[in-house]
C-alpha cells in the first residue's frame, strides 16, 4: 500500500498497455493541495460558486405495501458538485438503492425537490425524465447487464441506437469508449469471452458512450475479486480525474476509500457526509503491485 505522503506528492504518469485498465496515456490528478496529512474525516463544505450537478432537498420516498407505508427515504438533503467522486454507504435497507433510483431518474420521490444541473426534475413528465436520464446519466450495475449474444462494441453502441445515431458514428463512438477503458482490442469479443473485470469495463464504456454528465454505479465491484475491483476503481478514478462526476453505492469500505467523499445512509437519512482525506489511488496501487510481481520474477 502506498503511504499517504507518497500519494500526496506523486503526479503519477502511467505506461499504458493496450488492455490495461487505464485511459490512453494517463496522468492521474491527485490534487496535492487537497490531500490532508492525516486520516481524520472532515465535513463536506458547500460552495456557492460551483453550481451542484445534483441538489436534493427534503427528499422523501414511501413505498405502499398493501395497507402499510414503508418510508424508504425520510428527508434527504444532499448536494453533489460536478467533478466529485462520491461513495454512498450504509447498511442494507438504509435507502441507498431508492436514493440512486431517484437521482438516476428511474423513480420519483414522494416528497421534496430534486434538481440536476439546476433543472427541477421532480416536476418532469415521464418522457422528460427519460430524456434527462438518457442525456445526463450513465449507469453501471453490479451484474454488468451486457447482452450475451452481442459483441463488446455492439453492447456499447446500444444506447446510441436508441438515440438514433447513424451507424458509422455509433461505431466510432463505441470504439472510442472501449479505448478509454483499455479494451479496444476486445471490441469483437462477446461477454462470455471476457473476464468479469473486462465485462465491467465494457459496461463502463457503455455508460460513457452517450457523454453523460455523471456515472451512477450500483455496487460496481460487487461481483469482482479484489485485484479486479482495484482495476475498476482505477478506471472510475481516471474518468473522475478527467472531470466526470462519479457516484457509487458500495458496502465495502475499502472501495469507498477510493472516493473523495463518503455519504452514509441509515434508516432513510444521511447520517454522515465526510471528505475522505486519505483517498486511495488505484492506479498507484496497481503500479506498485506490478513492480512487486516483476521483482519476484527477477529474483
Ligand atoms: P438499500 O439499498 O440501502 O439496501 P433500499 O433503498 O433498497 O435500501 O430499501 C429501503 C427500504 O425500502 C427498505 O426497508 C426496503 O425494504 C424498502 N423498499 C425498497 N424497495 C421497495 C419496494 N419496491 N417496495 C416496498 N418496499 C421497498
Q: Is residue 60 part of a domain?
A: no
298 falls in which pLDDT band (50, 70, 90)? confident
Mutate to test the pocket of ligand 1, among 98, 222, 248 (most ligand atoms within 8 A of CB): 98
Give the Å distance between the CA of 117 and the centre of ligand 1: 27
> Rounded CA gap, 279 and 36, in Å?
10
Q: Is residue 247 part of a domain?
A: yes
Provide the pLDDT for residue 45: 60
Whether the pLDDT of residue 26 is over 70: the answer is no
DSSP characters for 230-291? HHHHHHHHHHHHTT-EEEEE-S-HHHHTTSSEEEEEETTEEEEEEE-TT---HHHHHHHHHH
pTM: 0.84
297 falls in which pLDDT band (50, 70, 90)? confident
> Rounded CA gap, 196 and 4, in Å?
30
20 falls in which pLDDT band (50, 70, 90)? very low
Nearest to 194 by CA among 14, 21, 15, 17: 21
> Rounded CA gap, 159 and 208, in Å?
10
Under 8 Å between Cβ of 252 and 88: no
- CA-nearest residue, atom 16 of ligand 1: 93
Rounded mean pLDDT, 131-139: 92
Residue with the three cell numbers 476486445: 186
pLDDT 10s digits, 187-211: 999 999 999 999 999 999 999 999 9
Q: Is residue 272 part of a domain?
A: yes
Q: Is residue 57 part of a domain?
A: no
Give the Å distance between the CA of 231 and the centre of ligand 1: 30
Enumerate the β-bridge partners of residue 56: 78, 114
Q: Is residue 273 part of a domain?
A: yes
Let me know if 150 is exposed, middle or buried by CB neighbors in 10 A (0-12, 13-18, 19+). middle
47 falls in which pLDDT band (50, 70, 90)? low
Number of domain units in the chain? 1
275 or 164, greater pLDDT: 275
Provide the pLDDT for residue 50: 58
Rounded mean pLDDT, 280-293: 93
> Rounded CA gap, 76 and 57, in Å?
6
Q: Is residue 106 part of a domain?
A: no
Least confident residue range of 46-50, 71-75, 292-296? 46-50
CATH number at residue 190: 3.40.50.300
Whether the pLDDT of residue 112 is over 90: the answer is yes
- CA-nearest residue, atom 21 of ligand 1: 63
9 falls in which pLDDT band (50, 70, 90)? very low
Question: Which domain does 220 fall in, by range?
Answer: 4-47+81-97+125-298
Under 8 Å between Cβ of 257 and 248: no
22 falls in which pLDDT band (50, 70, 90)? very low
Mean pLDDT of the chain: 85
For residue 12, give every residue at least 6 positions away whose Cβ sits within 8 Å of its Cβ, in sequence order, or none. 27, 28, 30, 281, 283, 284, 287
168 or 15, greater pLDDT: 168
Residue with the three cell numbers 437521482: 103
Whether the pLDDT of residue 107 is over 80: the answer is yes
Provide the pLDDT for residue 41: 57
Cell numbers linked to 87: 461513495
Cell numbers linked to 291: 513492480
> Rounded CA gap, 74 and 14, in Å?
44
Under 8 Å between Cβ of 88 and 99: yes
- How much of the chain exceeds pLDDT 70, in percent? 83
48 falls in which pLDDT band (50, 70, 90)? low
Q: Is residue 75 part of a domain?
A: no
Ligand 1 nearest-atom number relative to CA 99: 6
Whether the pLDDT of residue 29 is over 50: the answer is no
- How much of the chain exceeds pLDDT 90, in percent? 73
Cell numbers linked to 277: 482525506
Under 8 Å between Cβ of 228 and 201: no
Ligand 1 nearest-atom number relative to CA 97: 2
> Rounded CA gap, 296 and 299, in Å?
5
6 or 282, greater pLDDT: 282
Q: Is residue 56 part of a domain?
A: no
Mutate to test the pocket of ligand 1, among 59, 60, 61, 63 (most ligand atoms within 8 A of CB): 63
Amino acid at each position: 500500500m502506498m503511504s499517504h505522503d507518497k500519494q500526496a506528492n506523486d503526479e503519477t504518469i502511467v505506461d499504458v498497455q493496450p488492455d490495461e485498465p487505464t485511459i490512453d496515456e494517463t496522468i492521474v490528478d491527485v490534487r496535492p493541495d487537497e490531500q490532508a496529512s492525516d486520516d481524520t474525516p472532515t465535513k463536506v463544505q458547500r460552495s456557492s460558486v460551483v453550481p451542484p450537478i445534483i441538489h436534493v432537498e427534503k427528499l422523501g420516498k414511501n413505498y405502499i405495501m398493501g395497507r402499510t407505508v414503508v418510508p424508504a427515504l425520510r428527508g434527504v438533503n444532499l448536494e453533489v458538485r460536478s467533478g466529485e467522486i462520491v461513495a454512498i454507504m450504509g447498511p442494507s435497507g438504509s435507502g441507498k438503492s431508492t436514493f440512486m433510483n431517484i437521482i438516476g431518474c428511474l423513480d420519483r420521490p414522494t416528497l421534496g425537490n430534486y434538481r440536476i444541473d439546476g433543472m427541477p426534475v421532480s416536476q418532469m413528465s415521464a418522457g422528460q425524465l427519460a430524456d434527462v436520464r438518457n442525456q445526463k446519466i450513465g449507469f453501471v450495475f453490479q451484474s454488468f447487464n451486457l447482452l450475451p449474444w452481442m459483441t463488446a462494441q455492439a453492447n456499447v453502441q446500444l444506447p446510441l441506437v436508441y438515440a438514433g445515431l447513424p451507424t458509422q458514428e455509433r461505431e466510432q463512438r463505441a470504439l472510442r469508449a472501449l479505448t478509454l477503458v483499455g479494451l479496444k482490442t476486445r471490441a469483437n469479443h462477446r461477454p462470455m469471452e471476457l473476464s468479469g473485470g473486462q465485462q465491467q469495463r465494457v459496461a463502463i464504456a457503455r455508460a460513457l458512450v452517450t457523454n453523460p454528465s455523471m456515472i451512477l454505479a450500483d455496487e460496481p465491484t460487487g461481483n469482482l475479486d479484489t485485484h479486479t475491483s482495484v482495476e475498476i476503481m482505477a478506471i472510475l478514478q481516471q474518468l473522475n480525474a478527467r472531470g466526470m462526476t462519479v457516484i457509487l453505492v458500495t458496502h465495502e469500505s475499502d472501495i469507498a476509500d477510493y472516493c473523495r467523499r463518503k455519504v452514509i445512509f441509515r434508516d432513510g437519512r444521511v447520517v454522515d457526509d465526510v471528505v475522505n482525506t486519505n483517498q486511495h489511488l488505484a492506479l498507484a496501487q496497481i503500479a506498485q503491485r506490478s513492480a512487486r510481481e516483476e521483482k519476484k520474477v527477477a529474483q
